[in-house]
Structure 1
Amino acid sequence: MDPLSKKSARAAVRAARKNIPEHLRATRAEQLCSTVREYLAQLTPVVRGVALYYSSPEEPDTEALMRQLVDDGIHVYLPVCEAEHRLSWVRWEPGIELERSAHAPVMEPVGRRYGVELFEQEEAISTLFIPALSIDSNGRRLGQGGGYYDRFLPRIEHTPVQIAALVYDEEYLPAGSFEVDAHDAPVDLVITPSMVHHII
Structure 2
Amino acid sequence: MGVTDIRILKRELRDECKKARRDMPLSHKAQKDEMIFKRLTALPEVQSAKLILTYVSTPIEVSTFRLIDTMLRAGKAVAVPRCADGIVAMDFYRIHSMQDLEPATFSVLEPKLDICKKVTDFSDSVCIIPGLSFDLAGYRLGYGKGYYDRFLNRYHGVNIGICYNSCIRNELPHGRFDVAASILVTEKFVKRIPVQENKPMPKKEKPLLKRSFSMADRRKGGGRSQG
Greater shift after overlay, 65-74 or 161-170? 65-74
Given that 1:35 and 1:194 are in contact with CA atoms closer than 8 Å, whether structure 2 keeps it comes out as no
User: Which one of 82, 87, 91 corresponds to residue 88 of structure 1?
Assistant: 91
Instruction: Name the residue aligned to 1:170.
Output: 166
After TM superposition, where is structure 1 displaced by more than 4 Å over at least 4 residues in a row? Answer: none
Give the one of 99, 104, 114 matched to 2:102.
99
Structure 2: unaligned runs, 5 residues or longer: 195-227
CA distance in 2 between partners of 1:174 and 1:68 (Å):
32
* 2:4 is equivalent to residue 24 of structure 1: no
Deviation digits for residues 88-126 of structure 1 (CA, Å, limit 9, x no counterpart) = 111123353321224x542112233425x222xx32x2x
Deviation at 1:26, TM superposition (A): 1.2
Q: Deviations over 1:130-165 (max 9, x none)?
A: 110111112111001111111111112xx3x10111
Query: Equivalents in 1 of 2:73, 2:97: separation in Å?
Result: 10
Kindly tell me: are residues 193 and 57 of structure 1, through their superposed partners in 2, closer, same or farther at Cα, counting changes over 3 Å? Answer: same
Q: Which residue of structure 2 aligns with residue 132 of structure 1?
A: 131
> For the residues of structure 2 that align with 1:75 and 1:134, how far apart are their CA atoms?
28
**1:140-194 deviation per Cα after TM superposition (whole angstroms, max 9, x unaligned):** 11001111111111112xx3x101111011222212xx32222222111111123
Give the superposed CA RMSD. Answer: 2.1
1:71 matched to 2:69? no
Q: Which amino acid aligns with 1:181?
A: G
- Give 1:66 shift: 1.0
TM-score by length of 2: 0.75
Alignment of 1:172-191 (within 5 A): 172-175=168-171, 178-191=172-185
- For the residue of structure 2 that corresponds to 1:76, the secondary structure is strand
Q: Which residue identity is paired with 1:151?
A: R
Q: 1:44 to 1:72 in 2, by over 3 A?
A: closer
- Give the letter aligned to residue 69 of structure 1: M
Shift of 1:45: 8.5
Letter in 1 for 2:57: S
Report the count of equivalent residues: 186
